[in-house]
Structure 1
Amino acid sequence: MTSPMSLSLAAEFPRATEAQWRAAVDAVLKGKPFDKTLVGRTADGIAIQPLYPRVADAAPLAGRAGGAPWTIVQRADQPDPRDANVQALDDLTNGASGLAIVTRGAIGDHRGDGLVLDSLADLDQLLDGVMLDLIPLRVDAGTSAGHVAALLAAKVARDKLDPASLTMAFGIDPIGAFARRGTLENWNGAAAKAADMVLGLRKRGFAGTQVIADGRVIHDAGGSEAQELAFALGAAVQYLRVLEQAGLSLDEARRAIAVLVAADADQFLTSAKLRAIRQLWARVETACGLSPSRLELHAETAWRMTTKVDPAVNWLRTTMACFAAGIGGADHVTVQPWTAAIGLPDAFARRIARNTQLILIEESNLHRVADPAAGSGGVEALTSELCEAAWALFQDSERAGGVVAALSGGTIQVAVAKARLARQAAIAKRREPLTGTSEFPNIHELTPEVLHPVPRLANRQVAPVELPEAAKGERFEATVAAFDAGAFRAALSRPKTDTIFVDPLAPIRLAEPFEALRAALDAVTAKTGKRPQVFLAVLGPVAAFTPRATFARNLFEAGGFEAPIPEAFADGAGLLAAFKASGARIACICSSDELYATNAIPTAEALTTAGAAQTWLAGRPGEQEDALKSAGVGGFVFAGCDVIDCLNAAKAALGE
């Protein structure tokens, strides 16, 4: 008797071939080009095929151990350390397993209201009740990373903790800080200080990683996946050189380096990106004569994908990003709360951020399999092609003298700007839709609550403390001693003596152009008590006008207008009466091409006579364009038009 477990449900069906599939597809396409119709492209030009074969000989990448969950990291970014401590303890008590200290001015401080750590007393308040020997800790402090590292070293020594037992990523990253700020004293000086910090921490016995190559600065600024990978790899290699020159062996130096990348809602690209950085780093290790070892990999959900309008959609975005980072092999994942773009997240938003991860781990068991994407034709292909594209960009920066030289020369900024402008153009034309923002907007949504803390200023009225030059950890030790004696951070800071000034890689959010329009019309609504309206002049029966009326409503409401779809009008007189009763200054004619041929021109003339300051037509004008414009049609809305331009023109017609 055949065991039920051995049954093959497909045994009675012949195995399909790719040629048969392609023949069936071509029959459906009816002459349309396969590559343009079914093959997508990433921002780096990598083709995304509709079908991939399984990669039979693929092996899992060496990453997070199979069966081991990633660390659920929560951000400690409240300006006041006391408030941040309350949040951190609540997070750790309710499922978080790690913390990220995000100070003001850090790469992760997108709103400019991050944590202010002035002294050892502040750090004590922040970490009161936090068991540092039980959780991983990551520091995101920008140019203040050395000071925060010294504060942590002073606290660990005073609390008599064993540094070797702690899991800390100190986040020293002068290259990322340079890219974000756009200024640098000079690379030799910055490198010497970074090496001094690393040597000082290692002399104190700290395990974990001391420097981090942070790709978020590229992603935040609108860069592509390959650009982010190339930047992170270039920064890591530059740090490898710095630490080797400081006296560490290559094996010691590589173990001091971690990588941090952004995870966005493109599941396959994000997973492939995380897998790619491990392969790229292994290639560098091999080139250095080292056997590849496991890279410490951090991921944080992307800032640029978050939205202020319809922010609940951010739950879906961050869930997908976290899913992709988890199966992509991240060791530590930070989920940005869903209200992060609006303001400082409250307890509920933080709860959703950590519960997103808890559900994926505890209920979905995503962590049980090491590298579950191994062998997937699509993900393997994306991983491989991202590696090739990123390696080529990395080599370009190496030929320029390294990533710092490439930043100083502006080549990285120019490339990122090109990628950003291309993406923004695609979003403006809704070829890359933003759900809840450019597509399916909800103009009647309620804005969720966020926290409004009192701004906390750093202490500036202190006498300076003299520090030795950066060398083999002496400057770091002096900084630790000063903090231990009660010094404020300002006493250890010096006026900037930067000599390199370049265009900074400032963070953006992709939804900002739509949000600016929404905010302007929300202000008009608040002032007048009535939301600006676009009157949809529908022609003919419901079946004729519904597709384009729905399209037009979606488009105009994405800019903050109200554009209700009316019932079918009995005649032109009824349409004009409804337009006058609406009080709208803007109208949009919506119907089928057949009805446009006979009714669009007289309808446009009638609307202009009735007082329409601006009239649109939903659809492409075709041969009637000149006649329609002469009749009063000022613009056309259709799939592929620049929606931002259309909405700005409509806003201008309000005269506000």
Structure 2
Amino acid sequence: MRCGTGNPAVRRQAVAERVGCIRHCCLRSCPPLSLTVINPRMTDAPLSLDFPPTPTEDWHDRLRRDLGDDFADTLTWQPLEGIDLRAFYRRADTDALPHVQKGVSGRAMRQSGPAANDWTIAQRLPLDAPDLADRINAACTGGAGRIVVTAAGTDASADLSAALRTALDTAAHHDTDVHLDGGADAWAVIAQSDLGADTPLTYADPHLLRAMRHVPAEAELPAPLHRPAHPIMVDARLPHNAGLPMADELALALGSWSQALATQGAEAFSGGLPHRVLVAVDTSYFLEIAKLRALRLLLPQVAQAYAEMHDTAPVLSPSDVTLYAETSPRSHTLFDPHANLLRAATQSASAVIGGVEQLTVQPFRRDEHDEAANADRLARNTQLILKHEAHLHRVADPAAGAYYLEQATDRLAEAAWSRFQQIEDTGGLPNWADDFLQTRVRITREERRMRIATRTDVLVGTNHYPDPDTPVTPQATPSASPAQQHFHHQPPAWVQPLSLSAGYDALRLRVQQLEPRPTALIAPVGTPSMRSARATFARNIVGCLGLRLIEPLGYDSIDDAIDALHEHTPDVVVWCADDDTLAALLDQAPTDTVDAITIAAAPPKAVPNAQAVDLLLHRGAPTLQRLRQLADALGA
């Protein structure tokens, strides 16, 4: 069969006939399909000519028929990031955006050498690692272009000054830069070291540390940090780690940037200093891309104001902004740590598409383990795959032109700029109202925790799809951090890094200490479709505590289920059945011969006698609260 026509309808019919022929002859005797292109439109014009665009009003009419006149409200997403977004946008929506009209996209948004979107692979290592030199050598020979040593989580009793000198000397052999991370702990380490102002070491500026009370407001800078002019590095991870919305996160980054420019004065614009912003990137894929692009639009506006103040020419464009990113630990989980590899891949892709110049991937485990070298290697390989296999470094600003991303970029930039103006109106970060910032942090932290506690948001391996058979040994907490010892200051609870999995992790660690390990019988009875659905639902909740699960395919009768209960004598039994079978089962289930916590995977209306069960699992139930009740009942 040959198709020698330029008529699209005929071409489509020919392909359909060919598909039908394949189905009938099972690939035995039909000759190969050959398409002879006669119509030049097949090669010279885009395929979209055969598919004219659907007018926006037609989409709206269809949505009104399906969802009603208030479809716009129904389809509006309101994430916890200070903005809202519609379900879809059209070209007309995007063309009107200010940065699109100015042509700020592509190389105007991101310019970096011969490879348009290239970035430096950074390796994060703990400063107190006993094999620090070996791990730096492995990182430098394994693809890392910069070493990030962190003092966070270290013990003040360790000789961190010597460790920092070791890091600098080892990295120097590979001609590799070193960045000292760890916020206030990094300050303390520098204060205790004999480093000079010319030491090739980068660090974050202190303004956000003071504003968010990680150090006392009156804390003095250690002498080595008093450099006459040095590249500003704003650490915008602090508001992110505290749980603030993206709009506030960007606004505080701008406030810190403004404070640093004001501190350095005209020297900040001398010699083309490569000022940088360090950003945390989490798993909200598209919004994280938009956040990085919005930051590129906003930072030059702040720099422009200071340049005019000092009578210098504009020194910064969006493509000149240097962004460093680090995958966020906020969504890292203690249990089922290999799921963190998947989260890191998503975070890394967001960072790279958002156009960062440097990326640090957090190791996938944060418990005591002997796989540190493997975790380092996987952190590097996540980036190496994105670069050398996905080739994400080849295209400048890959997000340019995507209607949804351009809208998200504009909305985040607008919301962040409005918040930044509020900060400036109060006199900048030092004078910003403490109680206002605390209130914002507390409200957002509680909302994020509640979404995880009710499974509105999913953390795979923690509140959904758990692996109950992965025990962990939590990392020991140091008796005193370097910052606590040096500054005699304990940061308030509201600025401590937020861990979304902390509530589930704490419960599971309690249950993990029980001996012997508690067992739970997931008992499906009755109608196969309903029992299977409810058993899967129950398994994904009860498994979050790390119980040993007994999971039969199902029982054909109530008597078989009760026999299994006597056979296994579990600590917990979860009845999973249709409503009618469940009612009969609860009437017949023994309560005097089997001492098991009884749970029903069913809504309250299916269990009129609430005394027949200890717990109910159903959609809308507060998952974390139910698990806490179960852990208490088990004696954990």
Q: Taking structure 1 as the reference length, what is the TM-score of the superposition?
A: 0.78
Q: Which residue of 2 aligns with 1:515?
A: 505
The structural deviation recorded for 1:348 is: 0.9
Q: Which residue of 2 aligns with 1:461?
A: none
The structural deviation recorded for 1:411 is: 2.1
Contact 2:291–2:409 at 8 Å: present in 1 too? yes
CA offsets, 1:573-601, max 9 Å, x none?
A: 22222222221243333233xxx1x3433
Does residue 429 of the first structure (1) align with residue 441 of the second (2)? no
Does residue 39 of the first structure (1) align with residue 66 of the second (2)? no
1:638 pairs, out of 607, 618, 633, with 618
Q: Which residue of 2 aligns with 1:59?
A: 104
Contact 1:78–1:344 at 8 Å: present in 2 too? no
1:402 pairs, out of 428, 444, 447, with 428
CA offsets, 1:88-109, max 9 Å, x none?
A: 1110111111111312xxxxx2
Change (3 A) 1:178 1:582: farther
The structural deviation recorded for 1:503 is: 5.1
Q: Which residue of 2 aligns with 1:200?
A: 227
Q: Which residue of 1 aligns with 2:437?
A: 412
The structural deviation recorded for 1:364 is: 1.4
Q: Which residue of 2 aligns with 1:600?
A: 582
CA offsets, 1:186-218, max 9 Å, x none?
A: 2xx64xx48x7565354xxxxx61x42212122
Deviates more, 1:7-16 or 1:360-369: 7-16
Q: Which residue of 2 aligns with 1:279?
A: 297
Secondary structure, counterpart of 2:522 in structure 1:
strand
Inter-partner Cα distance in structure 2 for 1:264 and 1:221:
13
The structural deviation recorded for 1:249 is: 4.4
Pairing of 1:8-157 with structure 2 (within 5 A):
8-27=46-65, 29=66, 34-35=71-72, 38-54=75-91, 55-56=94-95, 57=100, 58-60=103-105, 61-65=108-112, 67-80=116-129, 83-103=131-151, 109=152, 111-112=153-154, 118-119=160-161, 122-131=163-172, 134-143=175-184, 144-145=186-187, 148=190, 154=196
Does residue 312 of the first structure (1) align with residue 338 of the second (2)? yes
Secondary structure, counterpart of 2:324 in structure 1:
strand
Change (3 A) 1:544 1:151: closer
Q: Match for 2:463: what amino acid?
A: S
Q: Percent identity?
A: 27
Pairing of 1:118-267 with structure 2 (within 5 A):
118-119=160-161, 122-131=163-172, 134-143=175-184, 144-145=186-187, 148=190, 154=196, 169-176=202-209, 179=212, 181=214, 183-186=215-218, 190=220, 193=221, 200=227, 202=229, 209=231, 211-244=232-265, 248-249=266-267, 251-252=269-270, 255=273, 257-267=275-285
1:532 pairs, out of 515, 519, 527, with 519
Contact 1:145–1:171 at 8 Å: present in 2 too? no
2:413 pairs, out of 367, 373, 387, with 387
The structural deviation recorded for 1:379 is: 1.1
Change (3 A) 1:36 1:538: farther
Contact 1:227–1:416 at 8 Å: present in 2 too? no
The structural deviation recorded for 1:142 is: 2.9
Inter-partner Cα distance in structure 1 for 2:58 and 2:326:
42
Change (3 A) 1:572 1:362: closer
Inter-partner Cα distance in structure 2 for 1:418 and 1:645:
20
Change (3 A) 1:74 1:252: same
Contact 2:82–2:246 at 8 Å: present in 1 too? no
Change (3 A) 1:279 1:341: farther
Q: Which residue of 2 aligns with 1:580?
A: 566
Inter-partner Cα distance in structure 2 for 1:520 and 1:502:
26
The Cα RMSD (Å) is 3.6
Q: Which residue of 2 aligns with 1:301?
A: 327
The structural deviation recorded for 1:171 is: 2.2
Change (3 A) 1:48 1:114: farther
Alignment coverage as a number of residue pairs = 576
Q: Match for 1:51: what amino acid?
A: F
Contact 1:185–1:496 at 8 Å: present in 2 too? no
Q: Match for 2:365: what amino acid?
A: T
CA offsets, 1:95-134, max 9 Å, x none?
A: 111111312xxxxx2x445996654x54442233423794
Change (3 A) 1:584 1:38: farther
The structural deviation recorded for 1:324 is: 0.8
Does residue 628 of the first structure (1) align with residue 609 of the second (2)? yes
Q: Taking structure 2 as the reference length, what is the TM-score of the superposition?
A: 0.81
Deviates more, 1:393-402 or 1:260-269: 393-402
Contact 1:428–1:642 at 8 Å: present in 2 too? yes
CA offsets, 1:204-262, max 9 Å, x none?
A: xxxx61x4221212222222212211221111212222222xxx345249947421110
**Contiguous gaps of at least 5 residues in structure 2:** 1-37
Q: Match for 1:436: what amino acid?
A: G
Q: Match for 2:609: what amino acid?
A: L
The structural deviation recorded for 1:39 is: 3.2
Does residue 506 of the first structure (1) align with residue 496 of the second (2)? yes
The structural deviation recorded for 1:555 is: 1.0
Contact 2:243–2:444 at 8 Å: present in 1 too? yes
Change (3 A) 1:382 1:145: same
Q: Match for 1:234: what amino acid?
A: G
Q: Match for 1:46: what amino acid?
A: I
Inter-partner Cα distance in structure 2 for 1:102 and 1:231:
23
Inter-partner Cα distance in structure 1 for 2:423 and 2:531:
54
Does residue 442 of the first structure (1) align with residue 442 of the second (2)? no
Inter-partner Cα distance in structure 2 for 1:233 and 1:85:
36
Inter-partner Cα distance in structure 1 for 2:412 and 2:577:
45
Secondary structure, counterpart of 1:21 in structure 2:
helix
Pairing of 1:443-482 with structure 2 (within 5 A):
443-445=468-470
Q: Which residue of 1 aligns with 2:631?
A: 651
Inter-partner Cα distance in structure 2 for 1:312 and 1:402:
42
Secondary structure, counterpart of 2:172 in structure 1:
coil
Secondary structure, counterpart of 1:639 in structure 2:
coil
Inter-partner Cα distance in structure 1 for 2:444 and 2:480:
37
The structural deviation recorded for 1:388 is: 2.0
Secondary structure, counterpart of 1:100 in structure 2:
strand
